[in-house]
Structure 1
Amino acid sequence: MAVSTTDQVFHFGDFTLDLGKGTLGQADRTAYLRPKAYALLTHLARNIGRVVPKSELMDTVWPGVFVTEDSLTQSIREIRKVLGEEMVRTVSKRGYMLAAETEVVPEPGTQPIVAVLRFRNDGADPADQAIVDGFAEDVINGLARFGTVTVLARNSSFSFASNMPTEWPTVRSRIGADYLVDGYVRRQPGGFVVAVNLVDAANAIQLWGERYGVEDAGLFAIQQDIVEEIVGRLVVRVHNAGLQRAARKPLANLAAYELALRGVTLLRDPAQSDLKTAAALFEAAIARDPAYGLAYTYLALSHVLNGEFGSISAAVLAKARELAEKGIALSPDQATAHRIQSLVRLNMRDHQAAEHHLRIALELNPSDAECIGQMGYLMVMRGRPLDALAWLARAIRIDPLNPHWYQYDRALALYMIGEYQPAVETLELATRPMPWIRTRLAACCAQLGKMEAARQQVALIKADDADFSPLDYAMSAVPFENPSDMEHLAQGVALALGEGQGS
């Protein structure tokens, strides 16, 4: 759900100012203000406890229009008539202040709120501020494409400058952000330096920071790559920080978003040893919020992930497709919903539909590393391994902290073009090799003529899971579009099993 600054809720004693609904209420009744008085109260609420100069109020409420102070005084009088005289204080020769103890109250259980503060122009030329602001706004736009974080609009977040840690608690209280992104851009001979930090606003601590150098090509020549990398890493860290918070709460106290967050973490475990618990968490999230589209989406994913270990029944795939379609219906603007539908359709061997949904996902969010990485996997399945390697390299660059799935798919692409040794080196990085990973590794070793290593992998497969058939996996569990690609993988597996000869 997209939330902007107009969706903030302020409480003043018995009154509630809901900017999303455009209402001011008291108990069970609605209070009425004329438009200018309402706009004035809104600006005072966003600056609670601060003396707002008369000139600022007049510029905000009557932009570009010449009015006398009488108009301001009349609106203040109207607000006091509704709220009470004591709620709005006059500070002599300075302005007005909303005196109520209020705070921005996000909807309980919503996804984390991120504010990108105005980046600092750290160079010598004040004219570069426009460039700096444009860069920070690109970060806002990139983050806003992700369905797992709510990003405040520029008008609110740019009210605060970067590199002012003493103001972090104030920023949180005024605009309700859980996380802050700050940074600077500095022009130097031959290019720019860009720095960005992620801050936990509740605890006023920095969670992550990175510094980028941009050489002679200029900032905007590679700006998209830098923004893409920053956004990808920020989303991962916000997700991890949110999980840590959710993990400290009893299960009964978790909101739908937090339940889904725990479930996604289980899905991302390389071993995927607890898919049933993940599915139960998504079902619990749906019970809490039946309109939570991404919960249906991830429940669909939990049904198809066993495809890496063996064939999925038609009934399971049909159920997964139904859940994925509901996820799209409820969250049509979320890239993740289309990405998971793509994976479902791929497992149904509907390769054209799989690419169609994944292209939609990438249109919705071109910076989503998971969509980019999955496109790499899809390209392998469609017999285009060179394209796959390019997509996967991009995904690994954006999201270097979670590269294991990308690396497994990269190894399969390398296998398909006969680069068996690099594929071996990639697969050997697996920290918890499952039977299907060992199957691919055995095939690579066999194609290299390293039969002892291949047989060792086969022995480990049998020790881990006596019911797992490497050859069945190669011939039916991997959704290749072209029979020749399936035969290529099956040939390597057969060689490792001692059941065939290389051609």
Structure 2
Amino acid sequence: MAVSATGQVFQFGGFTLDLGKGTLSRADQPAFLRPKAYALLTHLACHIGRVVPKSELMDTVWPGVFVTEDSLTQSVREIRKVLGEERVRTVSKRGYMLVPETEAVPESGAQPIVAVLRFRNDGADPANQEIVDGFAEDIINGLARFGTVTVLARNSSFSFASHSPAEWPAIRSRIGADYLVEGSVRRQAERIIAAVSLIDAANSAQLWGDRYQAEAAGLFAIQQDIVEQIVGRLVVKVSNAGLTRASRRPVTSLASYELVLRGVALMRDPAQSDLKAAAALFEAAISKDPSYGLAHTYLALSHVLNSEFGPTSSSVLAKARDLAERGIALSPDQATAHRIQSLVRLSMRDHPAAEHHLRIALELNPGDAECIEQMGHLLTMRGRPLEALSWLARAIRIDPLNPHWYQYDRSLALYMLGEYRPAAEALELATRPTPWIRTRLAACYAQLGNMEAATRQAALINAGGFDFSPVDYATTVVPFENAVDADHLVNGVLLALGRRR
């Protein structure tokens, strides 16, 4: 494999590698490597942030020549002597990685941390709970658009109820919230009546409170006003730009909004056992309001999701892509629309498009935990697991009581870095071990050399009567961009199954 990178310039750790000039320098002072070490660094730089297998490095630097791994080890040692030990990372049983200058992940710093508690349903009908939860979640999304506050994600903040003031002091220590938003919603036909308060978590003192009412078309306007009132009391100056950009075309009926919320609730079920019912709800919402962008967006998501992470046909993915595109056309300023289009494109293995849409989502809502977490997963799929872990750690800080998939995605990034033990520990947290989770666990234990545990997990993959192929899953379902990353997972699975390629 020849390296054809003339004209490329790489910068890392204060060093500049200019492939056009054939030089390595630091602060304009030359740094010297022998030819083989320089060729090795060149190939690592061309794949910076990716784990490059030893066999690939040896074929590149010593083409057509038989050498032992000692030659590779000596060249790596020479590079480390010049660049520093931490710049070239050894990944157990895989190869080496030139550590990139990682992208800065948005951090909260000294910003106030806000938790929006689950609102009370003050109506007589318990079936309106999805409307109540959706109203509060829209406030979370509105707050997350501001760089001046950190808002905790729904999964963590909804663990506490607005009607339990006795719990408020404990929330600060449990999830780190400085301020709480609590309230209640009553639905009367097409009218919403809401009461909202801002609470200082340190002393349970109310800092602000107000009462609102609106018909369906005015629902989002009062949500925006609530967000502005909250942010305005937590920071010195509020920029309305975030609210203006976040404005959405209102739904024409509360019924359409409710149908979407009910469908989303079904998809949030960890078992995801009723995706057809969720899709039917989104289709009904579109029938009532064809201009409701998020209904199209979530219908696209329902087509992509599979309860046991099985393969999705190209025709279904194409339909999901078109639906997601329609959702973006109708709601271009909704981060969720771009985030789900990113997931669809990732399933189609269109990795550049997936990253493009996800970065738009993050521009629209930089504090959204689901967008941040999904960026971690996407970077793992693109062969950049070290960067992925930074994004995943940030998502977990925003959502300390995070949903199960945060740890599953973190475990895969760890696996790709050869950190098999913490990868297995993350998967062991699963309360409902599915066939694909057991497949990954078996691969982790096999890579650790714990064949007893690997064999036990492999034997349980189809114990529940499933017809699941762990090899097909590792080979075709997980959307890796690079074949070498897919091979790494496949090799672990085959090892656990006692099979060879």
When normalised by structure 2's length, the TM-score is 0.53
Q: 1:345 deviation in Å?
A: 0.5
Q: Would you say 1:385 and 2:385 are equivalent positions?
A: yes
Q: Does 1:268 align with 2:268?
A: yes
- The residue number in structure 1 matching 2:463 is 463
Q: Which residue of 2 aligns with 1:341?
A: 341
Q: Which of 196, 202, 206 in structure 2 is aligned with 1:180? A: 196
Report if the CA contact (8 A) 2:304-2:344 is conserved.
Answer: yes
Q: Is the 8 A contact 1:115 1:181 kept in 2?
A: no
Counterpart in 1 of 2:366?
366
8 Å CA contact retained: 1:308, 1:478? no
Distance 2:496 2:428 in 1: 17
Q: Is the 8 A contact 2:427 2:441 kept in 1?
A: yes
Q: 1:286 to 1:195 in 2, by over 3 A?
A: farther
**Which residue in the other structure is 2:259 paired with?**
259
Q: CA deviation at 1:201?
A: 6.8
User: What is the distance in 2 between the residues matched to 1:391 and 1:136?
Assistant: 16
Deviation at 1:411, TM superposition (A): 0.3
Please tell me whether the aligned partners of residues 197 and 210 of structure 2 are also in contact (alpha carbons under 8 angstroms): no
CA distance in structure 1 between the partners assigned to 2:210 and 2:432 by the alignment: 32
Give, in whole Å, the separation in 2 of the partners of 1:497 and 1:114: 44
**How far apart are residue 491 of structure 1 and its match?**
0.4
Q: 1:488 to 1:199 in 2, by over 3 A?
A: farther
Match of 1:413 in 2: 413
The aligned amino acid for 2:285 is: A
* Matching of residues 408-447 of structure 1 within 5 Å: 408-447=408-447
2:294 pairs with 1:294? yes
Q: Which amino acid aligns with 2:423?
A: A
Secondary structure at 1:178 match in 2: strand
Query: Is the Cα contact below 8 Å between 2:475 and 2:490 reproduced in 1?
Result: yes
1:194 Cα deviation after fit: 11
Hey, what's the Cα distance between the residues in 1 that align with 2:138 and 2:488? 50
Q: Which amino acid aligns with 2:374?
A: Q
Rg larger for: 1
Contact 1:179–1:198, Cα closer than 8 Å, also in 2: no
1:27-66 counterparts in 2 under 5 A?
none
**Contact between 1:278 and 1:302, CA under 8 Å: does it hold in 2?**
yes
Correspondence for 2:489: 489
Q: Supply the distance in 2 between the matched residues of 1:450 and 1:198 (Cα, whole angstroms).
A: 57
Match of 1:476 in 2: 476
Aligned equivalents of 2:144, 2:317: Cα separation in 1:
42
Aligned partners of 2:256 and 2:289 also within 8 Å? yes
Q: What is the identity, as a one-letter code, of the residue corresponding to 1:182?
A: L
Distance in 1 between residues matched to 2:452 and 2:458, nearest whole Å? 10
For 2:343, what is the secondary structure of its paired residue? helix
Partner of 1:395: 395
What letter matches 1:471 in structure 2? V
Once the 2 structures are TM-superposed, how far is the Cα of residue 400 of structure 1 from its aligned partner?
A: 2.4
Q: Is the 8 A contact 2:200 2:207 kept in 1?
A: no
Distance 1:198 1:262 in 2: 31
- Structure 1 residue 308: deviation in Å? 5.8
Corresponding residue for residue 282 of structure 2: 282
Query: In the alignment, residue 135 of structure 2 is paired with which amino acid?
Result: P
- Secondary structure of the structure 1 residue equivalent to 2:354: helix
**Structure 2 CA distance for aligned equivalents of residues 114 and 320 of structure 1:** 24
- Conserved in 1, the CA contact under 8 Å of 2:438 and 2:457? yes
CA shift, 1:140, in A, is 9.2
- 1:353 paired with 2:353, answer yes
Match of 1:311 in 2: 311
Q: SS where residue 196 of structure 2 aligns?
A: strand
Q: Deviations over 1:55-93 (max 9, x none)?
A: xxxxxxxxxxxxxxxxxxxxxxxxxxxxxxxxxxxxxxx
Contact 2:273–2:307, Cα closer than 8 Å, also in 1? no
Q: 1:397 to 1:136 in 2, by over 3 A?
A: closer
Task: Tell me the SS of whatever aligns to 2:431.
Answer: coil
Contact 1:308 1:477 (C-alpha < 8 Å) held by counterparts = no
Q: Secondary structure at the match of 1:183?
A: strand
Give the letter for the 1:468 counterpart: F
Q: Distance in 2 between matches of 1:136 and 1:488?
A: 37
Amino acid at match of 1:415: Y
* CA–CA separation in structure 1 for the residues paired with 2:376 and 2:473: 20
For the residues of structure 2 that align with 1:280 and 1:198, how far apart are their CA atoms? Answer: 40
Cα deviations across residues 335-364 of structure 1 (Å, max 9, x unaligned)? 000000001111111100000000000000
CA contact (8 A) 1:115 1:180 kept: no
Deviation at 1:113, TM superposition (A): 7.2
Aligned 8 A contact 1:304 1:344 in 2: yes
Question: Structure 2 matches for 1:1-80, cutoff 5 A?
Answer: none
- Name the % identity: 67
Q: 2 CA distance for matches of 1:282 and 1:115?
A: 18
AA aligned opposite 2:196: L
Aligned to 1:324: 324
CA distance in 1, matches of 2:461, 2:386: 30
Describe how 1:219-238 pairs up with structure 2 within 5 A. Answer: none
Aligned position for 1:112: 135
Instruction: Measure, in 2, the Cα distance between the counterparts of 1:114 and 1:484.
Output: 40
Q: 1:201 to 1:372 in 2, by over 3 A?
A: same
Question: Structure 1's 500 and 255: CA in aligned 2 closer, same or farther, altered over 3 A?
Answer: same
Q: Post-superposition shift, 1:142?
A: 7.5
Asked if the contact 1:112–1:178 (Cα under 8 Å) also holds between the matched residues in 2, the reply is: no
Helix, strand or coil at the partner of 1:467: coil
Q: How large is the RMSD of aligned CA atoms in angstroms?
A: 4.1
Letter in 1 for 2:342: S
Q: Contact 1:382/1:481 (CA < 8 Å) preserved in 2? A: yes
**Larger RCO (CA under 8 A, 6+ residues apart):** 2
Contact kept? 1:114, 1:181, Cα under 8 Å: no
d(CA) in 1 for partners of 2:488 and 2:410? Answer: 16
Q: Residues of 2 paired with 1:115 and 1:440: CA distance? A: 35
Deviation at 1:138, TM superposition (A): 5.3
Secondary structure at the aligned position of 1:462 is classed as coil
Residue-pair matches, total: 300
Match of 2:109? none
Check 1:296–1:195 CA distance in 2 against 1; reply closer, same or farther (3 A cut): farther
Q: Give TM-score, length-normalised by structure 1.
A: 0.53
Q: Deviation of residue 137 (structure 1)?
A: 11
- Letter in structure 2 aligned against 1:460: L
Equivalent residue, structure 2, for 1:454 = 454
Kept after mapping to 1: 8 A contact 2:346/2:479? yes
Structure 1 counterpart SS, 2:199: strand
Is the 1:376–1:390 contact (alpha carbons within 8 Å) kept by the matching residues of 2? yes
| 8 Å CA contact retained: 2:286, 2:296 | yes
Kindly provide the amino acid, as one letter, of the partner of residue 112 in structure 1. F
The match for 1:238 is none
Q: 1:358 to 1:194 in 2, by over 3 A?
A: farther
- Taking a change above 3 Å as real, the CA distance of residues 458 and 115 of structure 1, as seen in their structure-2 partners, is closer
Relative to structure 1, the CA distance from residue 338 to residue 139 in structure 2 (aligned partners, 3 Å threshold; closer, same or farther) is: closer
**In 1, Cα distance between equivalents of 2:279 and 2:339:** 18
